[in-house]
Structure 1
Amino acid sequence: MNYPDTYYSRTLADRKERPALSGNIDCDTVVIGGGLAGLTTALQLARGGQKVVVLESQSVGFGASGRNGGFVSAGYATGVEKIARINGTEAADKLYLMSIEGVDFVRDTITGLNIAGANPVDGVTSVMRYDDGAGMQSHAAEARHKYGQRLEYLDTATVRQNLKSNRYFHGLRDPQAFHIHPLNYLRGLANEIERLGGLIFEGSPAFATDLVPDRKQVRTSNGVVAARTVVFATGGYTGPVNPRLKRAFLPIATYVMVSEEAPEMIASAIRTRDGIGDNRRAGDYYRLIDGGKRLLWGGRITTRAASTSGLVHELRREMTNTYPQLSGLRTELAWSGLMAYARHLMPQIGEMQPGVWHCTAFGGHGLNTTAIGGKVVAEAILGQSDRHRLFSPFGLDWAGGVAGLAVAQLTYWKLQAQDWWRERAA
């Protein structure tokens, strides 16, 4: 199967192709979706001794899991304060600690499986585009006290030593966070699942299910998988096979571009290998790749089909407004991908009915949160924990359909405007 033309697909370390499902197969659990949530679930189930089958409609990592920014850092798309208002302070703290656990899980998996090409680079820095150093220092102190995070406060001089831009004032560096080549990581997970006896079928979209209590069936065009348990982990590319799940999130497109090789020009602006994200609610993220030879820059979202070239023009404007010295840096490659966002901006994880699980809506949450979502679903299926219940208040609420997409786009524009005014007032 072919991947979208991205930097990650061009630099894929493992180009193994997998067959489509043909015929009938029995297993313990069938996972629908070969992204990070689905593969992590399958890996943990296989480690627990289950016979697992993964059905992927395209190819492993085809969706947002394999073409995102590659950041692995703690937290969710919404803040701990909002989570606490819905779920209580104690549960909110446990959920945040779970996101930190996800960072460790991804790192340990890369090390333990010796995943070639994942190329982890330590350090993610969040930079502030207005002057509030006291607020950042307070946040760092609270994170250390409550969660044991050792965030490093960076003053304006230090930030501008690393990032040659007058747009930035302060920063918080998380030395435990890191960034990776996500598609190579996913392919490493897939190889380990197969080594443990799991089966992965590409080009095998599920088009029908029979979710009866005793023995469930998932049908593709050329085969049937029978299993005790079914896990839906389909993300932004969820089709009509599960209407309830499809109604419960909004498919949101995000955009990424990669520069030409220009290490000297890039070094005139960016002198750190940390992944960088700004504090705006509608912000950008970027990192050096190829050993500093290229710059990967992402951001912008749309709720409807948009021209990638047009959005790249906007991304370039953001980049050059931040770093005028990069105005001559050519964009060599750009792509987009769909992410799943719930209205409550939290992952949707749980049991829809006995033996039928969902693990989705990871847009904006990072690779670590997607991975820990798959891990807790596997724990529940194996009877090891009930940690998935922490996500119960964030259910499969209807996302609003076309109206929901319109509201999401208006909200994004509002956030952009608020960011603009806040920076001008600084």
Structure 2
Amino acid sequence: MPHTPYPTSYYAASANPVPPRPELKGETETDVCIIGAGYTGLSTALFLLENGFKVTVLEAAKVGFGASGRNGGQIVNSYSRDIDVIERTVGPKQAQLLGHMAFEGGRIIRERIAKYNIQCDLKDGGVFAALSAKQMGHLEAQKKLWERFGHTQLELMDAKRIREVVATDSYIGGMLDMSGGHVHPLNLALGEAAAVESLGGVIHEQSPATRIDRGANPVVHTPQGRVKAKFVVVAGNAYLGNLMPELAAKSMPCGTQVITTEPLGEELAHSLLPQDYCVEDCNYLLDYYRLSGDKRLIFGGGVIYGARDPADIEAIIRPKMLKAFPQLKNVKIDFAWTGNFLLTLSRLPQVGRIGDNIYYSQGCSGHGVTYTHLAGKVLAEALRGQAERFDAFADLPHYPFPGGRLFRVPFTAMGAWYYNLRDKLGV
């Protein structure tokens, strides 16, 4: 079987050392077989292990190979569609439950980092940056909305104040969330994997799930082995492929691009982001950036629908970086990569159960770092028989893309073009 290494990225190049994790060979039995060693799978595994379950994790490539090890590294609260949209969709009772969970993922991340001593360059503070009066009005409403659900670590910033934390004239204002922040995302995943193993969990890399025998005692097959389990958790997200056709029909992998500069040095780095906060703008197709632990600028943005790898990532993202920070025009780009996230039509996560014993969570829609950690807790609760919070997610509507898989890319790209045009026109 071919070995799948990490893609070339700053995160892979600066990853903490890890032990070898051999592929599955032969047959094994477990309480819960988890498919995917990204944040959803690892978070689920940790909560289950902490509650006495026997857990085996199957990873097609390496821990954090997918979005968990390639994302912007930003701890951002709530969901890709905010609580007010959920409230209009499902009503106040369900929205109340989901709203109070919207800020839990970030707390779980910090608890994991502290409990298991994970070295991942955690920094506090995240900025939402407004490019127009309309976006500023949205942030004002968002602050009131989040405060209604008990989230109070927020500060609205005018043009003068935001320039104190982001050295660019691009923004008219913004909002600072001190419960947001940023991490080295791959090292977070690797630290969580080590925590899984410290509790007796088993992780097999290079072991893609090729099929699942469904039934009272499901069996997950890999190229050289199989796992007999009482329960299966499907946590492959954008890298699941067609293992579960009913899940693939309601989601679409999309690519986002990231570049990383050479080390900028303390003085230049501090001049760009004096408080070392991370930043994302409020556009539909947003840009996001932050400093790494060794003072590089990590800058991402753009969406490729259908998850094709663009020929020249730097050509797409560097102009965006220079628009914000023209003083970086002579700075070298050391790394450029793409990673896939899974988009749903509603842009809300899809959570559910197939039969009596196959559980899944997918479709973070670009908002996954915090949500996936919450999802692991919610899935583990459901397997323990506490389903109220699981049901709140499972009851969200799951829509197929109009026209099926053939038309989902052009349909979604047209929608994104429309919203991107509105951002540019400020309407």
Superposition TM-score, scaled by structure 2 size: 0.94
Change (3 A) 1:142 1:228: closer
Tell whether the 8 Å contact from 1:43 to 1:192 is kept in structure 2 after alignment.
Answer: yes
Alignment of 1:325-344 (within 5 A): 325-344=327-346
Q: Secondary structure at the match of 2:259?
A: strand
Q: Would you say 1:409 and 2:407 are equivalent positions?
A: no
Structure 2: distance between partners of 1:405 and 1:93: 33
For residue 96 of structure 2, the aligned residue among 84, 93, 98 is 93
Identical aligned residues as a percent: 31
Change (3 A) 1:311 1:416: farther
- Listed one character per residue, the Cα deviations across residues 159-211 of structure 1 (whole Å, up to 9, x for unaligned) are 12322222101111111111111111111111121121111111111112111
Q: Secondary structure at the match of 1:299?
A: strand
Between stretches 48-57 and 321-330, larger displacement belongs to 321-330
Q: Would you say 1:128 and 2:130 are equivalent positions?
A: yes
For residue 6 of structure 1, the aligned residue among 9, 22, 33 is 9
CA RMSD between the two structures: 1.8
Structure 1: distance between partners of 2:271 and 2:149: 38
Alignment of 1:311-390 (within 5 A): 311-390=313-392
Tell whether the 8 Å contact from 1:244 to 1:396 is kept in structure 2 after alignment.
Answer: no
Q: Would you say 1:17 and 2:20 are equivalent positions?
A: yes
Alignment of 1:12-161 (within 5 A): 12-116=15-119, 118-131=120-133, 136-161=139-164
Aligned twin of 1:269: 272
- Listed one character per residue, the Cα deviations across residues 331-381 of structure 1 (whole Å, up to 9, x for unaligned) are 111100111111111111121210111111123123111110111011100
Aligned twin of 2:424: 420
Aligned twin of 2:234: 232
Q: CA deviation at 1:138?
A: 4.7
Letter in 1 for 2:64: G
Q: CA deviation at 1:96?
A: 2.6
Superposition TM-score, scaled by structure 1 size: 0.94
Q: Secondary structure at the match of 2:274?
A: coil
Q: CA deviation at 1:314?
A: 2.3
Q: CA deviation at 1:302?
A: 0.6
- Listed one character per residue, the Cα deviations across residues 9-56 of structure 1 (whole Å, up to 9, x for unaligned) are 111113322000011111111011111101111111111111111111
Paired residues, number: 420
Between stretches 304-313 and 244-253, larger displacement belongs to 304-313
Alignment of 1:222-301 (within 5 A): 222-263=224-265, 264-291=267-294, 293-301=295-303
- Listed one character per residue, the Cα deviations across residues 102-146 of structure 1 (whole Å, up to 9, x for unaligned) are 110111110011112x11100001010113656544542442243
Alignment of 1:161-172 (within 5 A): 161-172=164-175
Q: Secondary structure at the match of 2:27?
A: strand
- Which sections of structure 2, spanning at least 5 residues, go unmatched? none
- Listed one character per residue, the Cα deviations across residues 286-331 of structure 1 (whole Å, up to 9, x for unaligned) are 001134x210001100114545453421211111122222222221
Structure 2: distance between partners of 1:46 and 1:147: 30
- Which sections of structure 1, spanning at least 5 residues, go unmatched? none
Q: Secondary structure at the match of 1:95?
A: helix
